[in-house]
């Protein structure tokens, strides 16, 4: 664990060293605290000169009392000032580490493939990024500095105590083996409880995320009470785990405190005997007992810190579970040559196989070539593999068999950024961000001018409704675009894709959420844009694929027909069946038509 955490400490090594110095200074000031009181008891009250420290030895008792009281106040003032300084330093370092780890974790999540995100809970990932990352501060800062302070105090006070009375010091140290046994007995159980508490708190985040993301479905089916009941159950389970952990931590501290109190009582008993025997002064006993309380304090601090570290370790483990997850789509090394303006790219599927899981193949033997400037339409029933097929082009997933190339280069050899810069996509469902209309459209090309943004919006038939919004292109839309209709969000995503102006265009149901008249206008704009570009269109509305250069009909992950629109209708095979069903044509398909024609 230390090997994983240390790289996050290294950038803060200079302030870290300052914090070490502050902690050592605090330890020294802590050791000074009982000495003014000793001087008052042994020297001021008895009018006995100090055995050391000219010119203090010659001071009269009232003057020495003033010095002792001033030293006492000064020690506490310095302790307070250095403590504030130290807290600021350590918190700054800890928060910086949290920020660095959080940034790295979020960046890593952005690079992980869709396969990872499809199998992960969004709520759990949010909890790991926002809550679990704080554990590194606890582990590295709240764990290290209390132990450093405790070790410094223990070493210094042990040295002074031995010089005062070695026998009493041995009695004080005799308690340590019992403390170690107590720690060993309680520690393992605490680690398991800490992990369970974090997992159940993460489950609460997951439930909130699920309920809020699907609020329309929840309300549509009147499931509010059920969702609330599930949340209450999850929250109650989290509360029980947290209370169980906190109770155990309190019992852990109480058990060790009882052991420490027993040791203190024994030492006080023996120290009193030594005072009566005249081998120890009352002032020395005060210093010794004060150090003893301070001695057991650092020991108790080490014990509590040890328990806290185990709680934090659970969070750090959850963070590094993600950071140690390798990208299932590794980045390549090759760059595609600079695209020629207005020219599409060749995209070649050669015997492509793909499976989300080893036991279930989604695509089988997909083999076709899209030449520069061609429009390839992909149709088929729901679940046929249409969206999966186009998702392979930008390498959201990697093929599990065969090969896929762009301009003759296997996409697995290409840098992801180089490949994806050549592709614009309109995905389903249409996704917009809670930012302005202008920023949403320009998300694909942040450097685009206002004129270019407006042109893309006009082509996507979005300009008219944007003009009706309160701030037009500067209108900020709600989370997930809830202030816009489905069709309006669809048109914004089309405008976003049009703005990027890439050689490859992928349109996944580009007009599924708009009416027929808007569809016709959008398709007119899209056709102007598709000229010269290699375009893949997934469509349920078969009227949108009339002008495609080639239509691929998918069924259970295989291409069962291919050809032009008129050719496939005339063939009366699988495509004709889809076409007839959609347009209410009663003429049956020819059973043998299209058999083996791929």
The 3-class secondary structure across 58-119, one letter per residue, is HCCHHHHHHHHHHHHHHHHHHHHHHHHHHHHHHHHHHHHHHHHHHHHHHHHHHHCCHHHHHC
Three-state SS sequence of 307-325: HHHHHHHHHHHHHHHHHCC
Q: Would you give the DSSP letter of residue 373?
A: T
Domain membership of residue 498 (yes or no) is no
How many separate domains does the chain show?
Answer: 2
Q: Are strands 504-508 and 423-426 parallel, antiparallel or unpaired?
A: parallel
Domain membership of residue 308 (yes or no) is yes
Domain membership of residue 380 (yes or no) is yes
Q: Would you give the DSSP letter of residue 133?
A: G
Residue with tokens 């003032």: 77
CATH of the domain at 356: 3.40.50.300
Tokens of 455: 């042109």
CA distances from 506 to 125, 337, 502, 515 (A): 29, 20, 10, 21
Per-residue pLDDT tens, the chain, 598 aa: give them: 667 777 877 888 898 899 899 888 988 888 788 777 777 776 666 666 666 666 766 677 777 788 778 888 888 899 899 989 988 888 888 888 888 888 888 888 877 777 777 667 777 787 788 777 777 777 777 667 777 887 888 788 788 878 877 787 787 777 777 766 776 677 667 767 877 887 888 788 777 777 776 676 676 656 778 888 888 888 888 888 888 888 887 777 777 777 777 777 888 888 888 888 877 777 777 777 777 766 656 766 676 676 677 667 777 778 777 777 777 777 778 887 766 555 778 899 998 888 887 778 888 888 999 888 888 889 888 888 888 898 888 888 888 888 899 888 888 888 888 888 888 888 777 788 888 899 888 888 888 888 888 988 888 888 888 888 888 888 888 754 557 777 788 888 888 888 887 888 888 876 665 666 666 666 766 676 677 788 898 877 666 677 888 989 888 888 888 888 888 888 888 888 877 776 666 665 565 444 444 5
**How many Å separate Cα 164 from the centre of its chain?**
54
Which range marks the domain in which residue 381 is found? 352-422+542-598
CA distance 193 to 188: 9
Domain membership of residue 328 (yes or no) is no
**How many Å separate Cα 173 from the centre of its chain?**
45
Residue with tokens 């050719």: 567
Listed in sequence order, the residues at least 6 apart from 122 whose beta carbon sits closer than 8 Å to its beta carbon are 206, 209, 213
Question: What pLDDT score does 595 carry?
Answer: 45
Question: What long-range pairs does 447-453 form, CB within 8 A, spacing at least 24?
Answer: 448/499, 452/499, 453/495, 453/499
Instruction: Please check whether residues 309 and 359 belong to one and the same domain.
Output: no
Backbone angles phi, psi at 231, to 5 degrees: -60, -45
CA distances from 18 to 9, 21, 82 (A): 13, 5, 11
Instruction: Please check whether residues 116 and 190 belong to one and the same domain.
Output: yes
Q: Please tell me whether residue 395 adopts helix, strand or coil conformation.
A: coil
Task: Give the strand order in the sheet containing 375-380.
Answer: 423-426, 504-508, 534-538, 375-380, 550-555, 558-563
Peptide linkage before 153 cis (omega within 30 of 0): no
Question: What pLDDT score does 585 carry?
Answer: 67
Instruction: Please check whether residues 95 and 215 belong to one and the same domain.
Output: yes
Instruction: Please check whether residues 299 and 250 belong to one and the same domain.
Output: yes
Determine if residue 382 is left, alpha or beta; phi over 0 gives left, psi from -120 to 50 gives alpha, anything else beta.
Answer: beta
Domain membership of residue 300 (yes or no) is yes
Instruction: Please check whether residues 229 and 366 belong to one and the same domain.
Output: no
Instruction: Please check whether residues 295 and 368 belong to one and the same domain.
Output: no
Instruction: Answer for the pair 514, 490: CB distance below 8 angstroms, yes or no.
Output: yes
Out of 281, 308, 323, pick the residue that ends a domain: 323
Q: Please tell me whether residue 415 adopts helix, strand or coil conformation.
A: coil
CA distance 37 to 284: 10
Ranges of beta strands (E only) in 422-557 are 423-426, 504-508, 534-538, 550-555
Instruction: Please check whether residues 131 and 188 belong to one and the same domain.
Output: yes
Say if pTM beats, i.e. exceeds, 0.75.
no
Instruction: Please check whether residues 298 and 384 belong to one and the same domain.
Output: no
Domain membership of residue 127 (yes or no) is yes
CATH of the domain at 292: 1.20.1560.10
Domain membership of residue 489 (yes or no) is no
Q: Please tell me whether residue 571 adopts helix, strand or coil conformation.
A: helix
CA distance 571 to 579: 12
Tokens of 536: 């893949």
Name which of 288, 301, 296, 290 is nearest 258 in CA terms. 296
Instruction: Please check whether residues 281 and 401 belong to one and the same domain.
Output: no
Domain membership of residue 482 (yes or no) is no
CA distances from 118 to 112, 115, 121, 396, 418 (A): 11, 5, 8, 11, 24
Instruction: Please check whether residues 168 and 242 belong to one and the same domain.
Output: yes
Instruction: Please check whether residues 199 and 304 belong to one and the same domain.
Output: yes
Length of the chain counted residue by residue: 598
Task: Give the strand order in the sheet containing 409-410.
Answer: 363-370, 347-354, 401-406, 409-410
Instruction: Please check whether residues 63 and 184 belong to one and the same domain.
Output: yes
Q: Please tell me whether residue 400 adopts helix, strand or coil conformation.
A: coil
Listed in sequence order, the residues at least 6 apart from 474 whose beta carbon sits closer than 8 Å to its beta carbon are 436, 437, 438
Q: Where are the alpha helices (DSSP H) in 278-381?
A: 282-323
Please report the DSSP string for 117-132 in residue order. Answer: HHTS-HHHHHHHHHTG
Angle at 329 between CA 133 and CA 490, to 5 degrees: 85
398: burial class by Cβ within 10 Å (0-12, 13-18, 19+)?
middle
């Amino acid at each position: 664990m230390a090997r994983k955490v240390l790289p996050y400490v290294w950038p803060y090594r200079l302030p870290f060293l300052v914090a070490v110095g502050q902690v050592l200074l605090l330890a020294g000031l802590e050791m000074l605290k009982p000495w003014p009181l000793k001087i008052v008891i042994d020297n001021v009250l008895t009018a006995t000169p100090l055995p050391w420290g000219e010119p203090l030895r010659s001071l009269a008792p009232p003057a020495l009392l003033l010095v002792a009281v001033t030293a006492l106040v000064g020690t506490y003032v310095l302790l307070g000032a250095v403590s504030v300084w130290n807290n600021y330093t350590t918190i700054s370092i800890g928060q910086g580490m949290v920020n660095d780890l959080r940034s790295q974790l979020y960046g890593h999540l952005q690079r992980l493939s869709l396969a990872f995100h499809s199998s992960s809970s969004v709520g759990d990932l949010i909890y790991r990024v926002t809550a679990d990352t704080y554990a590194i501060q606890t582990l590295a800062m709240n764990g290290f500095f209390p132990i450093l302070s405790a070790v410094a105090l223990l070493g210094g006070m042990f040295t002074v105590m031995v010089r005062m009375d070695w026998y009493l010091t041995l009695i004080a140290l005799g308690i340590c083996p019992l403390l170690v046994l107590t720690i060993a007995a309680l520690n393992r159980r605490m680690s398991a409880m800490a992990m369970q508490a974090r997992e159940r708190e993460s489950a609460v985040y997951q439930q909130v995320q699920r309920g809020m993301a699907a609020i329309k479905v929840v309300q549509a089916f009147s499931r509010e009470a059920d969702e609330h009941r599930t949340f209450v159950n999850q929250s109650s389970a989290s509360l029980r785990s947290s209370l169980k952990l906190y109770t155990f931590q309190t019992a852990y501290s109480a058990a060790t405190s009882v052991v420490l109190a027993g040791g203190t009582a024994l030492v006080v008993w023996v120290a009193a005997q030594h005072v009566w025997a005249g081998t120890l002064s009352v002032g020395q006993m005060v210093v010794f007992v004060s150090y003893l309380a301070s001695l057991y304090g650092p020991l108790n601090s080490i014990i509590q810190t040890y328990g806290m570290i185990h709680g934090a370790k659970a969070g750090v483990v959850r963070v590094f579970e993600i950071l140690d997850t390798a990208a299932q789509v590794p980045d390549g090394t090759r760059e595609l040559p600079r695209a020629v303006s207005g020219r599409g790219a060749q995209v070649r599927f050669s015997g492509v196989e793909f499976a989300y899981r080893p036991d279930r193949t989604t695509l089988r033997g997909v083999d076709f070539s899209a030449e520069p400037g061609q429009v390839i339409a992909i149709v088929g029933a729901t679940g046929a593999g249409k969206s999966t097929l186009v998702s392979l082009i930008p390498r959201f997933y990697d093929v599990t068999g065969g090969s896929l190339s762009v301009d003759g280069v296997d996409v697995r050899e290409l840098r992801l950024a180089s490949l994806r810069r050549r592709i614009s996509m309109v995905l389903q469902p249409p996704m917009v961000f809670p930012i302005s209309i202008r920023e949403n459209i320009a998300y694909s090309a942040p450097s685009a001018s206002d004129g270019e943004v407006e042109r893309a919006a006009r082509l996507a038939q979005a300009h008219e409704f944007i003009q009706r919004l309160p701030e037009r292109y500067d209108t900020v839309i709600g989370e997930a675009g809830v202030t816009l209709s489905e069709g309006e969000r669809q048109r914004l995503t089309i405008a976003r894709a049009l703005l990027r102006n890439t050689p490859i265009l992928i349109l996944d149901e580009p007009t599924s959420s708009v009416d027929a008249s808007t569809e016709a206008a959008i398709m007119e704009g899209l056709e102007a844009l598709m000229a010269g570009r290699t375009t893949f269109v997934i469509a349920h509305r078969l009227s949108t694929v009339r002008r495609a250069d080639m239509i691929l009909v998918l069924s259970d992950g295989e291409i069962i027909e291919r050809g032009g629109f008129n050719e496939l209708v005339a063939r009366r095979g699988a495509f004709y069946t889809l076409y007839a069903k959609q347009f209410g044509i009663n003429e049956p398909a020819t059973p043998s038509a299209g058999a083996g024609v791929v």
